[in-house]
Structure 1
Amino acid sequence: MDVPLRECGWLGHGIGEPGCPQGLVTMARWVLRFVLLATAVGLFTLSVAATVAGDVGVAVFTVVGVAIVGAVIWRMGWSKVRGASREWTASSKPVDRGQAVGDRSDIHSTLESLDAQVAEVLEQTVALDSTIRRVQSSVRSESQRNQERIEQSERKVVQRLRAHHRQLLEAEEESSSRRDDSDALRSVRQRIARQMTQSSRDTVRQVEALLRLSDVIKHPRAPLPSTGGFAIDAGALLHLVHVVSSIKPKRILELGSGTSTIWLGYLCEELGSDLISVDHDEYYLEKTRADVERHGLSGSVDLRLAPLQAVEVAGDDFRWYSLSAFEDVGKIDLLIVDGPPESTGDDARYPAVPLLSRVLSECAVVVLDDAHRDAEQRTLKRWAAEGPYRHVDAAVSRLGVLAKGETL
């Protein structure tokens, strides 16, 4: 007797029971194959994703999984798929209950075979999963080791770069030091060159001044003392001779004796003037006295010793000549200040004009030696500001000249 499809096991009867058509077994096989096919597709998709992500190990073993699942499907046989299709077509037709009962043993056998195949697939899947885990662990370990190697290499590169940077800095500092040394050497050379040029010009000027001075004293009675050094130089001496010749003073007061004393002695002898020369150092005073006597100028030159003593001028303390040396001095037309030495104190020559103003004539001229120095420049400015003096003959020589009225 034929049994309709609605009365088979999947509609109320168990598989293999009488009345279940053979097509139901075929459908179970289709379901299993579909599951295996879906598993293969999933593994293949995972393989593609792992490849894109750069995880080569996972990609390789997912491909292996795909191959195993494909092998299982192949083992079940493509021919069975075609047979199952025919069986499904046949199973859609009513069968008799006797045929269903006869096929019961075949159904059980088929199910057992399917269970064995599923178990085998599961075992292979578990083994594959274990292998994948081992590979992942190995990949992670290798990745960690590679990361450590990369970090170690980076540290070495950084250390080398830092060492190279230090070497560059040291080389730059050394180069800068060499440039500084070179610049300093160049500066020294330039300064020496300027000094040599200036010295050459000064030498030429001094020689020219000496040649002009040779006409001032045409017949000296003894060798004239040398100029320059601590003594007055030729250019300043020529300037002094010009001042004396211009104003023709009746009386000259010189503070600090020496070479200029002899030249002034000859000029005073010619003009009929008097020269008073004062010095604080007895040794140098006696040397000057010997030169005066050698030239026969004792009648025109009055040499006086005036030791330095403490004085107060404009609220400041100085060491200056003893005032007793000037008690009998009459009106002075020309005051020559060449002492005391600057070593005796700041602005050591300033007291001359304030302390001697009472003996300076109305047309007196004041001459200050070494006016190129800062202290003497300050002294000249103070004298000009405190008295009726004006600067004349500026920058002619190292002499600073102040005059009252229109004397010069």
Structure 2
Amino acid sequence: MRFLRLLRSRRKYLAVAVPAGAVGLAGLAGIAALASSGALSWEGALLLAATGAVGAAAAANALLAVVLVRRVGAVSRKVKDIDRRVDAQGRTVVEAVGADRLEMVTALDSAREELKEIDRRVDANGRKVVETVEADRLETVKTLGSTRNELKRMRARVLPEMSAELSRSVAVQGRNDYEQQVAWAELRDHLGAAAFMPPLRGWAASPDVMRVVVRLVDRHGPDLVVECGSGASSVWLGYALRRAGRGRLVALEHSGYYAERSRRLVRDHGLDDIVEIRDAPLTEWSPDSGADGDADEADRPWYDAAAVADLHDIGLVFVDGPPGSTAEQARYPALPVLIPRCASDAVFVLDDADRPDERAVEERWLEEFPELSVEEEQTEKGARVFTRKAL
């Protein structure tokens, strides 16, 4: 197949070479015929044939040289064409690389400018931050200096006052603690109470005010004592009435939970034959038609009046409730409600009398019931004893 392709590609050369070859072969045949007929010796025939062969070879070589020259020319033309193409592509590549390089250089220059601008901004912001911090530091130093001076002035003026006030408070608290201990011991000794008595003070009545109430029980021997509120004080009053040998206690309690706790205390001390804890929820209270009072008293809550409807000849009232958080001047109604049910020599004891609300209640009672007189008792929380003036 390759030979056929070669023959096709060299067809024009074969057109010359084949006739030449045929002529050469015919010459050789003629020389051979002459030698055979004796007209020419075989040596001369061979020499003549050799000479013809050499000429044929020379002709063939010349023909081959022509073919080679032409092939070399074709190859040279192809190489030149390739060189032109390579040169064109190389110029294109160089131009593209040059454009990319120029674009990269431009981008780098732009980036350098942006970095320079960022550096300038950072420097400017840094200076501003430093200036701001320095200004804040100076302001802080000034403020601290002013604060130190103010503290020095306060120490010089306030600390001595605070020290004196603290000393007074400690002294007062110490005296109060001592008085409460003394009152507790005196109550225990006087009443012959049980070994485990409910604690006093805090939310409960303090020992010193209980000592006042017990002394009044001993002095007046009331047949009926009413307590506004209930708790530990109910037990102590029960013991006082038992020692006196007469009287009973009715304690009014607005909270069902605390009423039950007070009943349990009373039962634990075996005083339920003397002490009665009554449920008396807070309800809207209005002054009696015969009692003086302002029109706005209708909105004041107090113990349900039904809880005291059956009580008469009350000899002593201990006002230790309702809690001050239930209403302004929450204990005011005790006297208007109960004084009509009291004996002529009845006594009212108002606990927590040093509080502003109780002082206002005291002033109103004395103003609205001019027949009353009051005596101040020196107790931790303050106490006032109200009695009717002698006629």
Give your verdict on TM over 0.5.
yes
Residue correspondence of structure 1 range 4-403 to structure 2 within 5 A: 173-174=146-147, 176-182=149-155, 183-218=157-192, 220-221=193-194, 223-271=196-244, 272-313=246-287, 314-315=294-295, 316=297, 317-387=299-369, 388-395=371-378, 398-403=382-387
Aligned to 1:404: 388
Alpha-carbon shift at residue 260 of structure 1 (Å): 1.2
Alpha-carbon shift at residue 276 of structure 1 (Å): 0.5
Work out the CA distance in 2 between the residues paired with 1:280 and 1:340: 8
DSSP-derived class of the 2:354 partner: coil
Alpha-carbon shift at residue 221 of structure 1 (Å): 4.2
Alpha-carbon shift at residue 391 of structure 1 (Å): 0.9
DSSP-derived class of the 1:392 partner: strand
Alpha-carbon shift at residue 180 of structure 1 (Å): 3.8
CA deviation profile, 1:228-259 (whole Å, cap 9, x unmatched): 11111111111111111111111111110011
CA deviation profile, 1:21-52 (whole Å, cap 9, x unmatched): xxxxxxxxxxxxxxxxxxxxxxxxxxxxxxxx
Alpha-carbon shift at residue 333 of structure 1 (Å): 0.9
Which ranges of structure 1 fall in alignment gaps of 5 or more residues?
1-165
DSSP-derived class of the 1:212 partner: helix
CA contact (8 A) 1:250 1:333 kept: yes
Alpha-carbon shift at residue 184 of structure 1 (Å): 3.6
Identity %: 30
Rate the CA distance shift 1:337–1:363 in 2: closer, same or farther, 3 A. same
Rate the CA distance shift 1:325–1:234 in 2: closer, same or farther, 3 A. same
Query: Residue type matched to 2:372 in 1?
Result: Y
Query: Residue type matched to 1:258 in 2?
Result: G
Alpha-carbon shift at residue 283 of structure 1 (Å): 1.1
Work out the CA distance in 2 between the residues paired with 1:171 and 1:320: 56
Work out the CA distance in 2 between the residues paired with 1:255 and 1:392: 20
Work out the CA distance in 2 between the residues paired with 1:389 and 1:305: 29
DSSP-derived class of the 2:190 partner: coil
Query: Residue type matched to 1:200 in 2?
Result: G
CA deviation profile, 1:107-146 (whole Å, cap 9, x unmatched): xxxxxxxxxxxxxxxxxxxxxxxxxxxxxxxxxxxxxxxx
Rate the CA distance shift 1:322–1:180 in 2: closer, same or farther, 3 A. farther
Work out the CA distance in 2 between the residues paired with 1:296 and 1:406: 38
CA contact (8 A) 1:222 1:294 kept: no
CA contact (8 A) 1:222 1:295 kept: no
CA contact (8 A) 2:205 2:233 kept: yes
Work out the CA distance in 2 between the residues paired with 1:175 and 1:291: 58
Work out the CA distance in 2 between the residues paired with 1:393 and 1:243: 14
DSSP-derived class of the 1:350 partner: coil
Alpha-carbon shift at residue 193 of structure 1 (Å): 2.3
Alpha-carbon shift at residue 202 of structure 1 (Å): 0.7
Worse-superposed segment, 312-321 or 350-359: 312-321
Work out the CA distance in 2 between the residues paired with 1:180 and 1:309: 55
DSSP-derived class of the 1:330 partner: coil
DSSP-derived class of the 2:191 partner: coil
Query: Residue type matched to 2:378 in 1?
Result: A
CA contact (8 A) 1:254 1:277 kept: yes
Q: Given the two structures, how large is their TM-score scaled by the length of structure 1?
A: 0.55
CA contact (8 A) 1:221 1:296 kept: no
Query: Residue type matched to 2:191 in 1?
Result: I
CA deviation profile, 1:67-92 (whole Å, cap 9, x unmatched): xxxxxxxxxxxxxxxxxxxxxxxxxx
Alpha-carbon shift at residue 172 of structure 1 (Å): 8.0
Work out the CA distance in 1 between the residues paired with 2:268 and 2:148: 65
Work out the CA distance in 2 between the residues paired with 1:406 and 1:276: 27
Alpha-carbon shift at residue 171 of structure 1 (Å): 9.0
Alpha-carbon shift at residue 300 of structure 1 (Å): 0.6
Alpha-carbon shift at residue 301 of structure 1 (Å): 0.9
CA contact (8 A) 2:249 2:274 kept: yes
Work out the CA distance in 2 between the residues paired with 1:263 and 1:231: 11
Query: Residue type matched to 1:196 in 2?
Result: V
Query: Residue type matched to 2:305 in 1?
Result: L
Work out the CA distance in 2 between the residues paired with 1:323 and 1:383: 19
Worse-superposed segment, 170-179 or 383-392: 170-179
Work out the CA distance in 2 between the residues paired with 1:180 and 1:327: 64
Q: How many residues align?
A: 241
Q: Given the two structures, how large is their TM-score scaled by the length of structure 2?
A: 0.57
Work out the CA distance in 2 between the residues paired with 1:217 and 1:170: 65
Aligned to 2:99: none
Work out the CA distance in 1 between the residues paired with 2:143 and 2:326: 51
